[in-house]
Structures are given as structure tokens and as C-alpha cells.
């Protein structure tokens, strides 16, 4: 078997264009991967186009050799393009052997994984709206919710904003009760001093974690914040080197990280990161702010990796047409996702539906602008600001 072509499809999801990668083979088996990256849509698409000639003609079942060649060709850099091709090759291998990918990673360690909802807090930015939406999710069976209560704030909070944000979090906690986990998203927006200050009042709401309070690139400062914070600080989605995880978890400043599979080398890279974290008794909560294809990728890992704490999921809040784009993806039931048992990733894409929702340059979030949490993309006028 050899790779005959690698194609990219950009799907115009309203708040983030999805870059989907299709690897075709001489045996007729097709594998899927994802190289989505927010404002990196066209760069990520072209990155796949630029390296695909290095993979065409190669055996997709020899994943390690193929990825090693791509990695070295990019001067020892892991990219979403490489990760997408890598995942697609695992999909091909699973289909070729007629087994799910997790079976090739040592077998299933769980039947289902608990998920936390993200992307649910659209609409009016008020304590009442947040509380109402949170309650509706708990009624559906969710036991964990993540949200960014900070709106357009950046770097520091004034006293008025701090009081309002406290009201939002308090209203959610009051509505869902003490048995539901709350995760607070920082989106890397604060400086270290402000992050530590915020962490002290977040403790009042029994939050499970404060995610990405500062820039991930400064791991020393991240460790400093984590050690000064009375609540758990998690990070990892921005790490693109395995040694970044080693530095963070070996500091004993956290016990959960959230790797992004596309940034760490796909499935093989995720297994390596899981092993690093396991050696320091640290759990994983894979980042997952892309398409249902990415959810299905993460589920294969959740099926095979023991040190999984929880899995992020946006899928309940997608546009209705996405159910037609991915007609057989796994749905959340009572706060859990079952580990799929179909060969490979266990998901297919309807390319006709994809064509009807093409790339749109406005499909991205204007983070730290008022109303970004509505996830409707940026308007043309905003792009000119």
C-alpha cells in the first residue's frame, strides 16, 4: 500500500474554519486528519500542500518512518500539517486491520470518558444568562462546565470588571450546585501578577482549574503562577515540544495538563506526552476546540490512555449542518462520550456538505473584543479595525 494523494478541505465553521486532511491510498482506503488553527487557516492548509509530496508514494502503515522524515524535513519542527497526516495514517492502519486505533495502542482501558462542556456561554453576557445556560447543561447530564467569564478584558481587571465577573461565576455556581465542576478559561490574557490575584478569589467558587491564565510560551512564569495560586493552574494546549511538558510537570506545580494533539505530533506524540505526564502522576485533559473529527481522534486516545482526567467537547453547540458533514460522529450522552468501536477513527466526512460551507475569511474569533463569546465570527468591518 502507498499514499497516492493528500487533499485538504476547508470547512467554513462560523467561528473557526476547519482544515480537514484526506489521505488517499492505492488500496482505496482513505484516512482523515485535522490541521485546524484559528487565524492560521490558509497557512495550515498550504503547509499540508507544501509537504505532501514527501509523503506521496510512501507506505502509510509505516507511520514512524513517515513522520520522522516529515519532522526532519521541517528542521525538527512538529506542525499541525504533520500531525494531521500522522492521524490520517493511523486511521488508515486501523481500517486496514479492521480495528479501532485504541486497539493498536494496547487496547481499551475504559468504555466511556467524562466530558466537560465548552462553547455553551453565548448570548447576553450577564450573570442570569450564564446561570440559565449552565443549568440547562446540568439538566442534560453534564457534570463539568468550562467558561471564560472575562469578556473583552485584557491583561488587568479594574474593580468594576472584577465585581461583575465574580457575579457571573457566583451565579453559575449557585445554579449548578456544589457537585458540578467549574473550569475557568483565561485565554492567556493576564500578566503573572494579575493571574495570581485572580486565582485567590477564584478559590471562593471551588473551581477545578484556572486554565491558561498567562502566555504558555513563558514556562518559568507559568510555573511561578501555578505555585503561587491556591487553585490548580493548567496549561499545555500551546506547548509544541514534548520537553515543554517535562519542564512543567516536573516542577510539581500542577497535576493536570491539556495537550493539543495537533501541536504535539498527532497520536504518537500524544502517547509520548501521556507517558511523560504519567511518570509525574499528572493526568491529561486533551484540548479540543476543533471539529467532531478531532473529538473522534481524542476519543481513540482516551480509550487507550489510563491517566485521563476528562475530555473537552464543543460538539453539542455546533451548527445543525455539521451533523450532515459528519453523519456518524459520537454524541455526548448524559455527560459522557462512549469510546467508538468502528475501525480506524470511526468517522467519515460528507464532502458535498463541506463544499456548501466553504472557507470564509471572517470565520474567526476577535478575542478580547466585546461579544467574542457568541462565536459568530468577525464581521468585515471588524477585520478593518
Task: Enumerate the active-site residues.
Answer: 187, 287
Instruction: Find out whether 284 and 258 touch, Cβ atoms under 8 Å.
Output: yes
Nearest 5°: CA angle at 321, between 119 and 10?
80
Half-sphere exposure of residue 94, counting CA atoms within 13 Å on the CB side? 27
Greatest pairwise CA separation for the chain in angstroms: 63
Question: Whats the size of the chain, residue-wise?
Answer: 385
User: In this structure, how many other beta carbons lie within 10 angstroms of the beta carbon of residue 140?
Assistant: 13
Instruction: Locate all alpha helices (DSSP H) within the chain, ordered by sequence.
Output: 41-55, 63-73, 80-97, 101-104, 127-139, 159-176, 192-202, 219-228, 242-250, 266-278, 292-304, 322-325, 351-355, 380-383
Closest CA to 13 of 383, 360, 381, 380: 360
Main-chain phi, psi angles of 238, to 5 degrees: -90, -5
Instruction: Find out whether 349 and 9 touch, Cβ atoms under 8 Å.
Output: yes
Amino acid at each position: 500500500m502507498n499514499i497516492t494523494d493528500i487533499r485538504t478541505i476547508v470547512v467554513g465553521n462560523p467561528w473557526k474554519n476547519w482544515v480537514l486532511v484526506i489521505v488517499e491510498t492505492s488500496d482505496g482506503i482513505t484516512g482523515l486528519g485535522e490541521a485546524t488553527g484559528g487565524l492560521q487557516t490558509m497557512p495550515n492548509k498550504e503547509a499540508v500542500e507544501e509537504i505532501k509530496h514527501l509523503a506521496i508514494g510512501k507506505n502509510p502503515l509505516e507511520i514512524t518512518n513517515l513522520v520522522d522524515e516529515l519532522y526532519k524535513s521541517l528542521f525538527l519542527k512538529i506542525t499541525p500539517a504533520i500531525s494531521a497526516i500522522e492521524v490520517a495514517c493511523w486511521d488508515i492502519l486501523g481500517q486496514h486491520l479492521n480495528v479501532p486505533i485504541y486497539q493498536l495502542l494496547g487496547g481499551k482501558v475504559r468504555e466511556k470518558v467524562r466530558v466537560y462542556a465548552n462553547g455553551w456561554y453565548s448570548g447576553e453576557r450577564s450573570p442570569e444568562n450564564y446561570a440559565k445556560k449552565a443549568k440547562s447543561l446540568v439538566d442534560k447530564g453534564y457534570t463539568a462546565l468550562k467558561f471564560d467569564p472575562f469578556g473583552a478584558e485584557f491583561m488587568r481587571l479594574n474593580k468594576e470588571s472584577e465585581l461583575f465577573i465574580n457575579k457571573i461565576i457566583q451565579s453559575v455556581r449557585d445554579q449548578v450546585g456544589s457537585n458540578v465542576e467549574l473550569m475557568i478559561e483565561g485565554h492567556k490574557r493576564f500578566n503573572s501578577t494579575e493571574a495570581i490575584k485572580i486565582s485567590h478569589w477564584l478559590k471562593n467558587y471551588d473551581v477545578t482549574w484556572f486554565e491558561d491564565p498567562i502566555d504558555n510560551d513563558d514556562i518559568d512564569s507559568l510555573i511561578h503562577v501555578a505555585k503561587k495560586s491556591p487553585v490548580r493552574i493548567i496549561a499545555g494546549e500551546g506547548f509544541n515540544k514534548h520537553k515543554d511538558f517535562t519542564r512543567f510537570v516536573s516542577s510539581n506545580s500542577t497535576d493536570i495538563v491539556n495537550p493539543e494533539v495537533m501541536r504535539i505530533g498527532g497520536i504518537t506524540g500524544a502517547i509520548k506526552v501521556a507517558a511523560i505526564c504519567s511518570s509525574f502522576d499528572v493526568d491529561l485533559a486533551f484540548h479540543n476546540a476543533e471539529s467532531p473529527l478531532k473529538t473522534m481522534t481524542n476519543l481513540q486516545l482516551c480509550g487507550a490512555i489510563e491517566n485521563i482526567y476528562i475530555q473537552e467537547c464543543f460538539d453539542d453547540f455546533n451548527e445543525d449542518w455539521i451533523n450532515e458533514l459528519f453523519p456518524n460522529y459520537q454524541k455526548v450522552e448524559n455527560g459522557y462520550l462512549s469510546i467508538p468501536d468502528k475501525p480506524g477513527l470511526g468517522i467519515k466526512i460528507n464532502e458535498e456538505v463541506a463544499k456548501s460551507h466553504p472557507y470564509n475569511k471572517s470565520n474567526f474569533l476577535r478575542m478580547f473584543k466585546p461579544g467574542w463569546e457568541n462565536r459568530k465570527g468577525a464581521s468585515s468591518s471588524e477585520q478593518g479595525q
